[in-house]
Chain A
Amino acid sequence: MALLKVENLSKSFSGLKAVSNLDLEIMEGELVGLIGPNGAGKTTVFNLLTGVYVPTEGTISFKGKRIDGSPLYKVSHLGIARTFQNIRLFGDLPVIDNVKIAYHQHVSYNTLSGILRLPNYYRGEAEIYQKAYDLLKIFDLHEKEDELAKNLPYGQQRRLEIARALATKPSLLLLDEPAAGMNPQETQNLMELIRWIREEFALTILLIEHDMSLVMGVCERIYVLDYGMVIAHGNPDEIKSNPRVIEAYLGEEAG
């Protein structure tokens, strides 16, 4: 069974069809890319999948359960985590707190024990801290745990967003342009990191990316979106030679 199944998904913004009749199927453990020119509707698809937008038409099923129309936090509880194209960290909080907050849905004590400082508060906090610290270590951010997130360099902010998303313990991770603004070396490292976290956390990953070397390098399957419609779908080699994709990216051939 598909982990994520999107059928006939459409979203209109007062007449403008941002996404139309999208069909998407992702199997467990896959690493899938979603590419397309600027304004093709990629981020809208992410926003539909995570519940930021309610679809105009169509259905989204995750683990066999309908999730279209569910609020964001419920989608997160079901196991879909995401990063944002325009980084949305909790900037004025320390790096470690960013990860701790994402761990909140798994916290083991309730509000009252937190206020009364019952023993399970201390146990819970110790556990949260340890988990958050371990995650930061994976992303090589543990030495900056007390720094404010907004003061991190750009590349580290991107990595922190991924670490934070992983703290929610997702089964499907959506990465929105994880390599944006990174140099080729950083992109290379990121590719390895993405492959590694997929194995380590048993994840399924869907990523939006403009950097073709990254998409072609890590993705097993690629969907190409243009004007809100899937214009091609297949493995990296098929996509590279697909004339419709070349047309969408480079424009129509003259004559």
Chain B
Amino acid sequence: MSNMGKNKLPIVNRKNIIVLFLLLVVYGVVQILQSNGILDRFYTMTLILACIYIILAVSQNLITGFTGQLAIGHAGFMAIGAYMSAFIVVKMNGPVVGGLIFGALVAAFAGVLIGIPTLRLRGDYLAIATLGLGEIVRIIFLNWDYLGGATGFQVPKSMNWTWAFWLMVLSVVVINNFINSSHGRACISIRENEIAAEAMGINTTKYKVIAFALGAMFAGLAGGIYANYMFFIQPGTFSFLKSFEILVMVVLGGLGSITGSILGAVIMTVASALLADIPELRMVIIAVLLIIIMIFRPNGILGTKEFNLSFLNPKKKGEENGIT
């Protein structure tokens, strides 16, 4: 970053402008196709679901791929965000933005609460503990009649492509910026070697909890978007199978690669949608696809690498290769 000293606004560089331009093109094309009726409701839903899954996969990757904590409770945080935002919107007649923020914050808080005791556990023990806690969250909502219980909860549809797309961009930018800061490097060092990280003065418990809470917050946001888009939420949606689905996207794209998670989320969502006509074979085909990818690319499609546009900015000493 030595070159940044002279530049007044280092965030405005060629790479970021081009990324922004590409985002606007993607957003604009979908928006136009949608308003002309070329994209029907099914495709629009697929695209919005892709945005939601990108948020979920990238935030799961922050916890598992970057910080190295195998936590499988993401659907639980998603459920908290979904129900809490619905609670604000439906029961409190609050604004939908307020609902989304409230849902994300409650999920982050739950992340801290769950993280402090469970993050002492390592590897598979942590996986089992978080899996259990995710299910506890689901069962709480299942029995909470005020929020619909087992019959489900109706939420007015207020999310659309614009909301989902730009909230997805916001989430990815925040997580990417975190990863490329000193605090993010502290999280990565935990994955690399926990004892060495601690010996270098990193409070590993603190950074694990920060990563966990940040990941939970965005899972909550994704849940909020989901609830306010889908008309209807029920606890069954947020079972541990959902957590596995998210984890599969992350592993497929590459643990430790943000662009990999985006790719993984898009591939899985699109594959599910394309195979929607043959439901009996859908899971079989997806499983075979996964096996093939894992045989040929055991570290995921992108491994820990990022697909980036750094060739647009000739490499300068010490510059990070983030995507934004």
Q: How far is the CB of A30 from chain B (nearest CB, A)?
A: 22
B198 near A71: Cβ-Cβ < 8 Å: yes
Q: Report yes or no: B11 in contact with A117, Cβ–Cβ below 8 A.
A: yes
How far, in whole Å, are A2 and B2 apart by their CA atoms in the complex?
A: 41
Binary per-residue interface labels of chain B (184-228) against chain A in the complex, 1 for a CB within 8 Å, 0 otherwise? 111011001101111111111000001000000000000000000
Contact B193 A88, beta carbon cutoff 8 Å: yes
A121's nearest neighbour on chain B, judged by CB, is: B181
Interface residues on A, range: 35 or more
| A88 and B196 within 8 A (CB) | yes
Q: Does any Cβ of A come within 8 Å of B1's Cβ?
A: yes
Given that A96-B318, A122-B1, A129-B318 are known contacts, is A114 also in contact with B184, CB under 8 Å in the complex? yes
Name the prevailing secondary structure of the B interface residues.
helix
Q: Judge if B304 is at the interface, Cβ distance under 8 Å.
A: yes
Interface flags, A38-52, vs B, CB<8A=1, else 0: 000000000000101
Q: Which of A45-85 contact B (CB under 8 A)?
A: 50, 52, 71-73, 76-77, 81-82, 84
A89 and B193 in contact, given A114-B178, A114-B184, A115-B174 (Cβ under 8 angstroms)? yes
Chain B residues whose CB sits within 8 angstroms of the CB of A221 once the complex forms:
none
Which parts of B80-124 form the interface with A (CB within 8 Å)? none
**Contacts between chains A and B (CB distance < 8 A), count:** 122
* Smallest Cβ-Cβ distance to A170: which chain B residue: B201
Q: Which of B1, B188, B195, B202 is the one whose CB lies under 8 Å from A129?
A: B1
Distance of A243 from chain B, by nearest CB (Å): 37
The minimal Cβ–Cβ distance linking B25 to chain A, given in whole angstroms, is: 23
Chain B: which residue is nearest A124 at the CB level? B182
Compute how far the CA of A20 lies from the CA of B199 in the bound complex, rounded to whole angstroms.
24
* B4 located at the interface, meaning its Cβ lies under 8 Å from any Cβ of chain A in the complex: yes
Report yes or no: B2 in contact with A109, Cβ–Cβ below 8 A: no
Q: Interface majority SS on A: helix, strand, loop or mixed? A: helix
Complex: A124 Cα to B182 Cα, angstroms: 9
Residues from chain A with a CB closer than 8 A to the CB of B181 are: 109, 111, 114-115, 121, 125
Report if A19 contacts B (CB, 8 A).
no
How long is the Cα–Cα vector from A76 to B4 in the complex, in angstroms? 31
Query: B204 contacts A73, CB within 8 Å?
Result: yes
A240 at the interface (CB under 8 A from B): no
- In the complex, the answer to whether B183 meets A72 with C-beta atoms within 8 Å is no
Quick check: B186 and A104 within 8 Å, CB to CB? yes
Q: A93-B192, A129-B2 are in contact. Are A102 and B201 (CB under 8 A)?
A: yes
Closest 9 A/B residue pairs (Cβ): A114-B181, A76-B201, A90-B192, A88-B196, A105-B201, A72-B198, A129-B318, A102-B200, A107-B182
